[in-house]
Chains A and B, each alone.
Chain A
Amino acid sequence: MDKTVSSQTTASKKMPSSGLPVIEAKHINDKKIKLKADVVVVGSGAGGAVSAYELAKAGQKVIVLEAGPYIPSNQFSEMLAVGMGQLYQDQGGQSNTAKDFTILQGSCVGGSTVVNATVCFRTPDYYLKLWSKEYGTNNLTTESLTPYFEKVEKNLSIRRAVREEMSDDANLLVDGCEKANIPWKASRRNVRFCALTGACLSGCVTDRKQSMLVTYLPWAIAHGATVYSDTFVTRISEKNGQVTAVHAEIKDRESGIKKADMEIEATKVILAAGAIQSPLILLRSQIANSSGQVGKNYACHPSLSVTGYIPNLNQDFYGAWHSMYVDEFTLPEQGGYILLSGIQDPVEATLNVDPGTGKPFMDHMLESKNLIRVITLIHDRNHGEVTWENGVKKVKYEMHDKDFPHMIAAMKKAITVLFAAGATKIYLPTSNKTEINDPSEVDKVLDSLKNEPARYRYVSYHPQGTCRMGANPKQSVVNPYGESHDVKGLYVADASLLPTSIGYNPQQTVYTLASYIADHIVNKS
Chain B
Amino acid sequence: MNKHSRSVSKKTTHFTRRNFLKATSLAITCASFSGHLLYSGIASSSAITAQLPKQIKHINYFEYQVLNHLMTIALPVRGTPLPSPKQVDAMVTLDQALLGGMEAHVLAELKQGIKFFEEGPRSNFQNKAFTQLSASQAIKFCDNWANSDFPQQRGIVMGLKKLVSLAYWSNPATWPTLNYIGPISKRKGIPALGNAPLPL
Contacts and interface: CB of A to CB of B under 8 A. Distances in A.
A92 B26 contact: yes
B66 interface: no
A82 B23 contact: yes
Interface stretch (A32-40, A181-189, A213-221): A213-221
A281 to B, nearest CB: 18
A454 B198 contact: no
Nearest to B152: A454
Nearest to B101: A91
Interface in B180-196: 180-186, 190-196
Interface residues of B, number: 70
Nearest to B168: A350
Nearest to A457: B158
19 contacts: A78-B182, A78-B183, A79-B183, A81-B97, A82-B19, A84-B27, A95-B27, A100-B31, A102-B29, A155-B199, A206-B192, A346-B174, A346-B180, A347-B166, A354-B146, A357-B73, A368-B180, A432-B146, A433-B146
Contacts of A453: 151, 155
B22 A85 contact: yes
A351 B198 CA distance: 40
B105 A392 contact: yes
B192 A74 contact: yes
Interface string B28-49: 1111100000000000000000
A347 B169 contact: yes
A99 B185 contact: no
Contact of A8 (B20, B174, B198): B198
Contacts of A457: 158
A84 B25 contact: yes
A16 B195 contact: yes
A365 B169 contact: yes
Contacts of B154: 431-432, 454-455
B180 A317 contact: yes
Contact of A100 (B29, B175, B192): B29
Nearest to B155: A454
Nearest to B149: A452
A92 B27 contact: yes
Contact of A78 (B77, B165, B185): B185
Interface in A39-91: 73-74, 77-82, 84-86, 90-91
A209 to B, nearest CB: 10
Interface string A10-25: 0110011111000000
Contacts of A432: 143, 146-147, 154
Given A79-B183, A197-B184, A357-B74, A95 B29 contact: yes
A357 B102 contact: no
B166 A81 contact: yes
A165 to B, nearest CB: 15
A167 B4 CA distance: 27
A433 B24 CA distance: 29
Most B CB contacts (10 A, CB to CB) among A82, A154, A210, A356 go to A82
Contacts of B29: 95, 99-102, 454
B27 A104 contact: yes
A207 B192 contact: yes
Contacts of B151: 98, 100, 452-455
Interface of B: 16, 19-20, 22-32, 73-77, 80, 82, 97, 101-103, 105-106, 135, 138-139, 142-143, 146-147, 151-152, 154-155, 157-159, 161-162, 165-166, 169-170, 172, 174-175, 177-186, 190-196, 198-200
Contacts of B135: 358
A90 B103 contact: yes
A433 to B, nearest CB: 7
Contacts of A366: 80, 82, 177-178
Interface of A: 8, 11-12, 15-19, 73-74, 77-82, 84-86, 90-93, 95, 98-102, 104, 154-155, 157, 192-193, 195, 197, 199, 205-208, 210, 214-215, 218-219, 222, 314, 316-318, 345-347, 350-351, 354, 356-359, 361-362, 365-366, 368-369, 392, 431-433, 452-455, 457, 459
A101 B28 CA distance: 10
Given A81-B25, A99-B159, 14 more contacts: A90-B103, A90-B106, A91-B26, A92-B27, A99-B31, A154-B199, A155-B196, A206-B185, A214-B194, A350-B162, A357-B74, A357-B139, A357-B142, A365-B178
A93 B26 CA distance: 6
Contacts of A12: 198
What are the nearest 10 A-B pairs in CB distance?
Answer: A85-B23, A78-B183, A81-B170, A454-B155, A18-B194, A432-B146, A432-B147, A102-B27, A454-B151, A218-B195
Contacts of B180: 317, 345-346, 368-369
Contacts of B74: 357-358, 361
A68 B20 CA distance: 18
Most A CB contacts (10 A, CB to CB) among B31, B142, B192 go to B192
A95 B29 CA distance: 7
A93 B107 CA distance: 11
Contact of B166 (A99, A193, A205, A351): A351
A192 B76 contact: no
A215 B183 contact: no
Given A81-B97, A91-B25, A206 B162 contact: no
A356 B143 contact: yes
A73 B179 CA distance: 27
